[in-house]
Chains A and B, each alone.
Chain A
């Protein structure tokens, strides 16, 4: 990108974070960005299989899915959607802070993003707890009493698979942001080196976007 100032013969002024097999920081930035986009493609396809399975099973059992989704708490789901959207905003502000060498702002925005992620998982925890108490569990673990429509366990199979896999991705994202935070405090990032912040940001937006699809599919069936 634009900060590519070093050249092929960079032995004397070798940038601190330039890996040995790249010629310059620009090449390294572009290559890692391609790598991250490719990884995100694989993530979309991984979740894509679940979305297709969900669509087909919902088409086969529309009444069961309809009845089962009333067990979800729309308020909690909506709050979580807003929390994740805000976290995407703080993340992108973090990238901006790194690009403009604002160390303190970068740390602030990373902490805010982490807090949003914690809030999301906290709310998710209370939602899961309610499901466990009611026996609204996947497959053969489904023990909920008093259903009028049979086959609701299938909805909860998908609910737990999809939100669970998404939750694991949130946890991984939190790990990555914590790593960024440590490096940001150390002062690694500035206008000429902010690649990791940018890449984790991309990943975080994808995690956010998957939730934006999950929310209506799970909570807003009509």
Chain B
């Protein structure tokens, strides 16, 4: 492992076929493909589409809150809008965002594999995603859903509208997520390149593996919970309805037994992207490889023991509350270990502030704010006051939305040349990054302040004293939207450039950079073998542009 530049037996010239984007051509060849790269790309566009839809609902919420009373919609409509915003963003955007798009694309390449273990199940996952997405949108024609994305009983078993359809949509999307998880675990176990041991894998793979563990262990419980909820609505089976002798708090336990681990489905992939981007742009070996790898697994497992911290005020035993509070503090440790390791990686590295690295640094700031504000909510006594306020809203947007989004954009800017063989405009990408970062903070810092002053979440009206902060938050959201559209336009504009000009623009050392950009359908010519570790920058670092070739 001491030296070595390239990792494959062959170079990147004259492929037998075209790259995976063109070989074969045609819409049908995309819709029936089993190629993990194409499935990843189709997931990417689908997620982008639903992020815009969910974002539009978010903008409606923010515009409504420009005034303390009615601005553009009535209270019932407001309930449906925030429910759809939450449900679309959680189930259709954040959960699949990184694993199903970047993960599907990059994981087999990073492992030196030809595909994921079960390519057809991978395609099925995408079709289930589309089915679930159509069902979720179908609720719009059934009077919408007004329960919030958490579907709390007994309200969700008594209200009208398309709750049952939405619940089945989430059920179907759960299977889509499970299929991705099964694929990733089997792929990591069995399709690593010869000679690549568990601790020679790039850390992205550890992150995806831990994510997949949660997808497999938590999602079925959500599946059965939603099925029970649907049965309660259709047959009044009695399990969650107190009038029939059931227990509505049981629903909350079931729901959070999935949905708390699910927030780690959202954040672990973000952390996985960080572990790739930061060493590459620091030109330095990752600090604390094993600590990062094991902390991913620790987060995945500890994540199952903290669900009831969502229920401190739901009438739970105070002793149970104390235990869940302690465990919640405990899970902050592996997250902090990761942050410290990334910072230590950057220490004395030769940092290049390219757009992926800018996003990574933005992630570190946003995730740290999100993590530290979580401690207030983990403490029993402060949570009693902050529960169901905008403080909670701001906290979970920092960890779920902001961190996930910034990491997705970091990974997207990092792997964009790999995906499409083209570079975007770097200056515009940096401006986009700054706008997204500022816009995000401007949206949610006012919400922290409002929440700590008692502004309750999910309220249609509010006291006039909160108006200035609400307006500030809305302006921030508009800034965020401008930044995101600029970023999207900048990425799309790269398609006007010629393809195949950049094989390894960042000088990355992991296996995906050892093949051409975009890669051929079969990923590599022959079986690649890693000749050095994934973060081995001890050799003379390749300067930017040195590996650009023409044609």
Listed in ascending order, the chain B residues whose CB lies under 8 Å from chain A are 113-119, 121, 178, 181-183, 185-187, 189-191, 194, 216-217, 219-221, 223-225, 228, 231-232, 235-239, 244-247, 250, 254, 527
Is the CB–CB distance between A23 and B117 below 8 Å?
no
CA distance A46 to B143 in the complex (A): 30
Residue B220 contacts which of A21, A49, A140, A161 (CB distance < 8 angstroms)? A49
Q: Which residues of A contact B235 (CB under 8 A)?
A: 138-141, 157
Residue B228 contacts which of A23, A27, A48, A53 (CB distance < 8 angstroms)? A53
CA distance A158 to B191 in the complex (A): 42
Residue B239 contacts which of A41, A45, A47, A53 (CB distance < 8 angstroms)? A53
Is the CB–CB distance between B217 and A45 below 8 Å?
yes
Shortest Cβ distance from A11 into chain B, in angstroms? Answer: 11
CA distance A222 to B374 in the complex (A): 47
Residue B254 contacts which of A23, A49, A157 (CB distance < 8 angstroms)? A49
Whether, in the assembled complex, A134 has its beta carbon less than 8 Å from a beta carbon of chain B, the answer is no
Whether, in the assembled complex, A30 has its beta carbon less than 8 Å from a beta carbon of chain B, the answer is yes
Whether, in the assembled complex, A173 has its beta carbon less than 8 Å from a beta carbon of chain B, the answer is no
Given contacts A42-B219, A46-B223, 4 further A-B contacts (CB under 8 A): A32-B186, A35-B182, A49-B221, A138-B231
Residue B247 contacts which of A23, A56, A157 (CB distance < 8 angstroms)? A56
CB under 8 Å from chain B, chain A span 17-49: 19-23, 27, 30-32, 34-35, 38-39, 41-43, 45-49
Query: Closest A-chain residue to B182, C-beta based?
Result: A38
Q: Which residues of A contact B245 (CB under 8 A)?
A: 57, 60-61, 151, 154
CA distance A42 to B216 in the complex (A): 6
Is the CB–CB distance between A21 and B119 below 8 Å?
yes
Is the CB–CB distance between A21 and B114 below 8 Å?
yes
Query: Closest B-chain residue to A30, C-beta based?
Result: B190
Listed in ascending order, the chain A residues whose CB lies under 8 Å from chain B are 8, 19-23, 27, 30-32, 34-35, 38-39, 41-43, 45-50, 52-53, 56-57, 60-61, 138-141, 151, 153-154, 157-158, 161
Q: Which residues of A contact B183 (CB under 8 A)?
A: 35
In the A-B complex, the 4 residue pairs with the closest CB atoms: A49-B224, A157-B237, A21-B115, A45-B220
CA distance A57 to B238 in the complex (A): 9
- Given contact pairs A56-B250, A60-B247, A157 touches B239 in the complex (Cβ within 8 A): yes
- Given contact pairs A34-B189, A38-B216, A49 touches B228 in the complex (Cβ within 8 A): yes
Q: Which residues of B contact A57 (CB under 8 A)?
A: 238-239, 245-247
Is the CB–CB distance between A46 and B119 below 8 Å?
no
Is the CB–CB distance between B117 and A35 below 8 Å?
yes
Is the CB–CB distance between A154 and B186 below 8 Å?
no
Q: Which residues of A contact B191 (CB under 8 A)?
A: 21-22, 27, 31
Residue A154 contacts which of B117, B178, B182, B237 (CB distance < 8 angstroms)? B237
Residue A35 contacts which of B118, B223, B225, B250 (CB distance < 8 angstroms)? B118
Is the CB–CB distance between A31 and B219 below 8 Å?
no
- Given contact pairs A31-B117, A56-B250, A50 touches B237 in the complex (Cβ within 8 A): no
Is the CB–CB distance between A46 and B237 below 8 Å?
no
Q: Which residues of A contact B186 (CB under 8 A)?
A: 31-32, 34-35, 38
